[in-house]
Amino acid sequence: MIVTALALLLATPAAADSQTRVQAAGYKAAFLCSGVFNAGQTPRQVAADDLDGIYPEYQALVGDMPYTLDRTRRTVSVTPGPALPSRVVAWRPLLGCSQLPVGGSDPALLPRLTPDFRAPNLARVDAARWPLGDAGAAMRLPRYQAAPLGRVVAEAFTPKFGGGNAGKPSTTAVIILKNGRIVAERYRAGYDRHTPQRTWSVAKSLTATLVGRAVQLGRIDVDAPAAIPQWQGRGDPRRVITTEQLLRMNSGLAAGPAGNRTDAVYVGGDTVTRTAAQMPLERPPGTHFNYANNDIMLAALALETKLERRAKGSALGFPFTELLWPLGMTRTTPETDWQGHFVLSSQVWMTARDLARLAILYENNGKASGKQLLPPDWRRFVSTPVGAQPTPVVPGRGGYGAGFWLFGKADDMPEGSYAMLGNRGQFALIIPSRRIIVIRRGFDAPGENFDLLAFARAALRTMK
């Protein structure tokens, strides 16, 4: 049997270890950069939370990798090992941190918003009435409800509902809302209402919301084939995949055995267009559910393409001016790859209160400050199972809508409940029939998952 030299090289442990080390260095650089420059944390805080309890193959490597933090240039550089290129990640205003390609080191390579694109005055927004600002956010419950609810919330910061990280409770924030007002709120030391964390897959729900905003503005038709430039060649079978099918994880595209590990983009310095847009068709579109980061990255790319065709350079600013800032989500940072494509399947940094604001938008049927930001039927669109569904249903996760997980009587939850869910225990559960929202943030380790539904049931029982 003849084996090529390339195949031998790829099969050697040294080659596989080099790739893992390069990606582990990208992981460390990305979280150090975002933690320091998005969240204002110290490297020690980032190491204790974002770099602890992570994928085992990276956990074993990141601690010993030396790094350089340049606060002037807003960059982080991590050295994977001898003879391997340093991984460089750079921060930009509003757009957060982006990995340069492996071997790249010049932050000027990264796309940026125009100099006249400025964030709102934070102090002024914070002083506004809730939910746009923080004033009047809280509402008192009767004591017979507030006291037991307070005990349930406190238990979220103990091992009661799981979610431990190496034996230590990992919850960082809990917010319970009723009728759009906060009735319980608690943070772990080192976190407060203005401390953002990575959303992980909660970003998928944000993507669905951005698409909904574009639908309301007449910028995109989710029933039409998705505008992915890489699929437009004659005879390409992917040309028929719609944006709705991407949002519902029904694209039929191959996604690899894990379905949701897209390390090449997240920590490997690659781009959305070089990875997700190149995936081949595996099944007829609309016939199979496959939970995949690629589908959501492609839905965001389809939206970007539509926006850019209308006005060059408009896509980078769209999330801020059309959704985040009108909602008061002034401490939410959607990050991009080094070519400027939003990685909206995971790489968003958001405070617990900003997550509450996003959930309230749905509770209010797409309205904010008297303005209809989403189509009136968009809440139904994202919370209705259409097309192929998860089989079997993932324990603790019901059916799937469009960027949202669905729950009901089978989960011992009020019918019509739906949620934004993310890795490491990021949750925002919306219960329309009770006008209650349950939010929890944390740093769960692999296999140590916080039991959202048990926690939500306990909280609901206190507010009958």
Domain with 451 in it: what CATH number?
3.40.710.10
**Is residue 202 domain-shared with residue 339, that is, in the same domain?**
yes
**pLDDT, average across residues 339-350:** 97
- CA dist 350 and 333 (Å) reads 7
Q: For the segment 389-426, what is each residue's pLDDT rounded down to a tens digit?
A: 998 776 666 799 999 999 999 999 999 999 999 999 99
**Is residue 87 domain-shared with residue 207, that is, in the same domain?**
no
Cβ-based burial of 87 (10 A; exposed 0-12, middle 13-18, buried ≥19)? buried
Lowest mean pLDDT among 77-91, 165-179, 186-200, 429-443: 165-179
In a domain, 353, yes or no: yes
**Is residue 78 domain-shared with residue 205, that is, in the same domain?**
no
- CA dist 213 and 378 (Å) reads 9
347 CB contacts (<8 Å, ≥6 apart)?
96, 198, 203, 266, 334, 335
pLDDT confidence of 350, banded at 50, 70, 90? very high
- CA dist 129 and 134 (Å) reads 6
How many CB atoms are located within 10 Å of the residue 27 CB? 27
Q: What is the pLDDT of residue 396?
A: 65
Answer with the one of 109, 139, 161 that is the final residue of a domain.
109
- CA dist 279 and 254 (Å) reads 6
- CA dist 201 and 182 (Å) reads 24
Rg (CA), the chain: 22
Q: What is the pLDDT of residue 394?
A: 66
The answer on pLDDT for 4 being more than 70 is: no
**100, 111 contact by CB (below 8 A):** no
H-run or E-run covering 172: strand 171-178
The answer on pLDDT for 308 being more than 80 is: yes
Q: For the segment 131-185, what is each residue's pLDDT rounded down to a tens digit?
A: 999 999 999 999 999 999 999 999 999 999 998 776 677 999 999 999 999 999 9
**Is residue 332 domain-shared with residue 454, that is, in the same domain?**
yes
Q: Enumerate the β-bridge partners of residue 372.
A: 367
Q: Which residue has the tokens 């049997």?
A: 1
The answer on pLDDT for 372 being more than 90 is: yes
Within its chain, how far is the Cα of 332 from the centroid?
11
**Is residue 70 domain-shared with residue 202, that is, in the same domain?**
no
Q: What is the pLDDT of residue 11?
A: 36
Cis peptide before 414 (omega within 30 of 0): no
**Is residue 88 domain-shared with residue 202, that is, in the same domain?**
no
Answer with the one of 58, 85, 109 that is the final residue of a domain.
109
Q: Which residue has the tokens 């490997």?
A: 268
The answer on pLDDT for 119 being more than 50 is: yes
**Is residue 83 domain-shared with residue 203, that is, in the same domain?**
no
Residues of the domain holding 45: 13-109
In a domain, 449, yes or no: yes
**Is residue 350 domain-shared with residue 212, that is, in the same domain?**
yes
435 CB contacts (<8 Å, ≥6 apart)?
178, 179, 180, 363
pLDDT confidence of 1, banded at 50, 70, 90? very low
In a domain, 201, yes or no: yes
Q: Give percent helix, percent strand, percent coil of the chain, each to the nearest 5.
A: 35, 15, 45
The answer on pLDDT for 54 being more than 70 is: yes
Higher confidence at residue 255 or residue 380? 380
Q: What is the pLDDT of residue 168?
A: 75
The answer on pLDDT for 13 being more than 60 is: no
**397, 421 contact by CB (below 8 A):** yes
Q: What is the pLDDT of residue 164?
A: 79
Query: At residue 238, what is the residue type?
Result: R
Answer with the one of 60, 81, 109 that is the final residue of a domain.
109
Q: Which residue has the tokens 């925002």?
A: 428
**Is residue 98 domain-shared with residue 211, that is, in the same domain?**
no
In a domain, 170, yes or no: no
Q: What is the pLDDT of residue 6?
A: 31
pLDDT confidence of 15, banded at 50, 70, 90? very low
Mean per-residue pLDDT over the chain, rounded: 93
Helices 202-216/293-310 angle, 10° precision: 30
Q: What is the pLDDT of residue 464?
A: 85
Strand, coil or helix: 127 = coil
In total, how many domains does the chain have? 2
**96, 90 contact by CB (below 8 A):** no
In a domain, 157, yes or no: no
Q: For the segment 209-252, what is each residue's pLDDT rounded down to a tens digit?
A: 999 999 999 999 999 999 999 999 999 999 999 999 999 999 99
**Is residue 325 domain-shared with residue 436, that is, in the same domain?**
yes
In a domain, 45, yes or no: yes
- % of the chain beyond a pLDDT of 70: 94
41 CB contacts (<8 Å, ≥6 apart)?
35, 190, 195
pLDDT confidence of 256, banded at 50, 70, 90? confident
DSSP code per residue over 346-381: T-EEE-HHHHHHHHHHHHTTTEETTEE-S-TTHHHH
In a domain, 132, yes or no: no
**Is residue 72 domain-shared with residue 211, that is, in the same domain?**
no
Q: For the segment 275-307, what is each residue's pLDDT rounded down to a tens digit?
A: 999 999 999 999 999 999 999 999 999 999 999
**pLDDT, average across residues 249-274:** 90
Q: Which residue has the tokens 């430039």?
A: 229
Q: What is the pLDDT of residue 395?
A: 64
**Is residue 208 domain-shared with residue 337, that is, in the same domain?**
yes
In a domain, 256, yes or no: no
